[in-house]
A and B are shown apart, each in its own frame.
Chain A
Amino acid sequence: MRSSKDEASRRPSTKLGARRLRAYQLLLAVALLAFWQVATSPTLLPPIYFDDPNKAAFFFGEPLKAAIRIWHWFASGTIYRHLWVTLIETLLAFVIGTVSGVVVGIWLALAPTASAVFDPYIKAANAMPRVILAPVFFVWFGLGIASKVALGVTLVFFIVFFNVYQGVREVSPVVLASARMLGASPRQLLRFVYLPSAMSWVFASLHNSVGLAFVGAVVGEYLGSSEGVGYLIQQAEGVFDINTVVAGIVVLTAFALALDGIVSLVERRLMVWQPRSGDTERL
């Protein structure tokens, strides 16, 4: 389950140099965008499929107009408030989900009876498509930030919980015995052995849990809110403004990539003790 390998090592090796690879990637993007623009523009080509030249643009949007929309968002600064709300929701969902996942995970891993009692319920709760809880959370927490955070928490919690549970269960018995021989009290075992061991599994699932916190925030906004990028998309969709929807999707994707990049940085800093693949640093 550990996915902390470097991106580069996972990519199949090619004969291309890094530069040419980048060039090809860029070319692909340009070609796709150009095709999109040409095929949807009401003026550039005669209509191929639709009877009205404006219909293609209506259904698929036009990349240029979407780009202009993004430009306006950032130039006028209206987007920042929405990004900020989405970010806050994501972070809150991530932190609350992770902390509760760690606490419950450690508790159940160390209490076999409780674990056995809760087992079917945890399985059921995990199997349930939890996005469907959104309406319930709207009723409980209103249309503000809290309901989106709650939705994100239900998504993040289980990822972290299962990882921590596994992590605590798989603490090496030798390391445990050794710590006990060195004089660790039960509380010290928890703090100095179980917790660090569990945290390594939390970090292994960091990409997943941050991603799901983000999904919870955006889906929550989309289903009912007055702020956030998900709200922007939902509003545009209400008036069939596909260009703005596309612009919103692009902003969300960039935002998600940025979050993922930050997670990778944090991971690299905190997981120095774990050997990386192909790491031959030995003395």
Chain B
Amino acid sequence: MTPALALERITCTFAAREDRSKRYTAVKDTTLVVAPGEFVSVVGPTGCGKSTLLNVAAGLLWPSAGSVAVKGEPLAGINRHAGYLFQTDALMPWRNALDNVVAGLEFRGMPREQAREKGEQWLRRVGLAGFGDRYPHQLSGGMRKRVALAQTLILGPQILLMDEPFSALDIQTRQLMENELLELWSADRKSVIFITHDLEEAIALSDRVVVLSAGPETHPIGEFAIDLPRPRDVSEIRLTPHFIELHGEIWHRMKSEVLKGYAQQQR
């Protein structure tokens, strides 16, 4: 089967801003293949270049070496099959919730009435019916994330790229959002790359967890299939013995890298 998304031997080297001769290799020789309908989480210590990898998959960043293929086709420019959920707020502050949700449809030239109808539908699906006329600053962090989710999913992307989307939320809101994400995902099984530094979140959500090494020159150091049954409830599944077993196993592999990453941040 053709993979939905294939990153082959990606290397990303940046020139330092102050000194052009100094180079920093964020990601080195990384291969990541996502099957259609697969939910893959990528975990790694902070500052290890996880977001860089995701930007390459999105077509926002061109790798120094390596290739990206989407459904077998080499990627040129922005990845049109992908939706991107950012870590920080990416809503347009001058548009209200509904106008934010329909922005993508508007860019594609859908008639306004039709777009708004679809937008209302999606606001309902993410639990924000009646909040369409609110501006982002009038919404809580969790609600803004829901709007962003609706904004992305309304375009029906086959690939979903998520960059620590829930890291800014409090733990209860976060678990609610994770459950909602799983529910929305199970409806049509998109391919997902979910970046996180939270191992529990990664295991609870995914089919497969990829562990990255500490930066610089980040590369995968382990892959773990998560064979927990679906549908899952993220707050309950954390307590099952198999979850704890998987957690222990992956953490064992991650621990030294996390310490390395931590030591680097101290410098």
Chain A interface (Cβ within 8 Å of chain B)?
Answer: 172, 174-175, 177-185, 188, 192-193, 196-197, 199-200, 272-275, 279, 281-283
Contact = CB atoms under 8 A, between A and B. Distances in A.
A273 B137 contact: yes
B248 to A, nearest CB: 36
Contacts, number: 83
A183 B138 contact: no
Interface of B: 55, 58, 60, 78-80, 82-84, 86, 88-96, 103-104, 106-108, 131, 134-140, 143, 151-152, 155
What's the dominant secondary structure at chain B's contact region? loop
B94 A180 contact: no
A283 B92 contact: no
A181 B60 contact: yes
Contacts of B95: 196, 273
B96 A282 contact: no
- Select the residue from B90, B136, B139, B152 with max chain A CB neighbours within 10 A: B90
Contact of B138 (A174, A175, A177, A283): A283
A183 B84 contact: no
29 contacts: A172-B89, A174-B86, A174-B90, A175-B90, A175-B93, A178-B86, A179-B103, A179-B107, A180-B78, A181-B58, A181-B82, A182-B151, A182-B155, A183-B78, A183-B107, A183-B108, A183-B155, A184-B107, A185-B107, A188-B107, A192-B103, A196-B92, A196-B94, A200-B94, A273-B136, A279-B137, A281-B138, A282-B139, A283-B134
Given A182-B104, A182-B107, A283-B139, A274 B93 contact: yes
Contacts of B151: 182
A174 B92 CA distance: 10
Contact of A282 (B78, B93, B104, B140): B140
B56 to A, nearest CB: 13
